[in-house]
Amino acid sequence: MARIKADVNQYNGAASTVNTAFSNAVLLQITPYGLNLYVPGDYQGWNPAAAPFIGPVAGKAGLYEGYVYINGSGIQYFKLTSAPDFDHINYGDGGNNTFSTDGNAAGLSVPEGGYYELTADLNNNTWTAVQTTWSMLGDATPGGWVTDTELQYDEVKQVWKTTAYLSSNGSFKFRANNGWVIDFGINADGDLSYADNPFFGYDASVMNITVPESATYDIVLDLHVPGKYTYSLTKK
């Protein structure tokens, strides 16, 4: 509940001759958004304090996105929590890719273990999980614009990596699942940025990645910190 108080000050500092006025009281509905959403589940022993998390999308209140490696076979259950514990808001399965904050709700689930992009929209209580593998495609790579150069996931370092010869006469992008649904290029600042992603839309300003000189490189794609995705090319 809130209302506005208004006073009229006198130019000479004397007490006002106008009575203080108050507006009618208005009931406010405030939706708090935490810094992260944690992802405890089967794959890590249902321990929120040690769970990976997805992060808020800059400039878009209520939207969260990130990548989580869910290690295991068969159906994997998990929840999202607003804090690294089960004492705050817990988001379980509301059916049809929606959330329920009922503490007795079943867990969210994916059909098998893997490396997933998770998204959450707390404005309409929806979520998505897209299993991904990662590769490179472009005329700077050995396969040109025809055959992907596959990256392998390093569970210890939490990065995707490979070693390949790259040509400075071409360019490339990183892409998920050998397609153009989720892919990365670089923005005007040279930072890794989505060119395509259903959660964010298409960004025509994102450019292909170029190579400083033709050589063999150790290539690393690091997606484990939400909103701070990076890549590196280290000449061998």
Domain end among 131, 157, 174? 131
Distances in whole angstroms, Cα of residue 184 to Cα of each of 75, 157, 202, 206, 215: 29, 20, 11, 8, 22
Asked whether the beta carbons of 209 and 220 are under 8 A apart, the reply is: no
Average pLDDT of 9-28? Answer: 63
> How much of the chain exceeds pLDDT 90, in percent?
83
Q: Looking at 7-11, 91-95, 121-125, 163-167, which range is the least confident one?
A: 7-11
pLDDT category, 14, cuts 50, 70, 90?
A: low
- Together in a domain, 156 and 108: no
pLDDT of residue 23: 72
* Residue 52 within any structural domain of the chain: yes
CATH number, domain of 190, equals: 2.60.40
Q: Do both 139 and 229 map to the same domain?
A: yes
Q: Is residue 12 part of a domain?
A: no
Confidence of residue 30 (pLDDT cuts 50, 70, 90): very low
Tell me: do 121 and 193 sit in the same domain.
no
* Same domain membership, residue 213 and residue 160: yes
Residue 20: inside a domain? no
* Number of domains making up the chain: 2
Inside any domain, residue 43: yes
33 Cβ neighbours under 8 A, 6+ residues apart: 56, 61, 62, 122
Together in a domain, 139 and 169: yes
Q: Which residues span the domain enclosing 56?
A: 37-131
pTM, entire model: 0.85
Does residue 18 lie in a domain region? no
Length of the chain: 236
| Domain identity same for 118 and 188 | no
List pLDDT tens digits, range 187-231: 999 999 999 999 999 999 999 999 999 999 999 999 999 999 999
Residues 125 and 144 in one domain: no
Among 2-16, 110-124, 167-181, 214-228, where is mean pLDDT lowest? 2-16
Q: Can you give the CATH number for the domain in which 70 is found?
A: 2.60.40.3620
Q: Going by C-beta distance under 8 Å and a sequence separation of 6 or more, which residues neighbour residue 31?
A: 62, 122
Last residue of a domain, one of 86, 104, 131: 131
Q: What is the pLDDT of residues 76-131, one digit of tens each?
A: 999 999 999 999 999 999 999 999 999 899 999 999 999 999 999 999 999 999 99
**146 shares a domain with 228:** yes
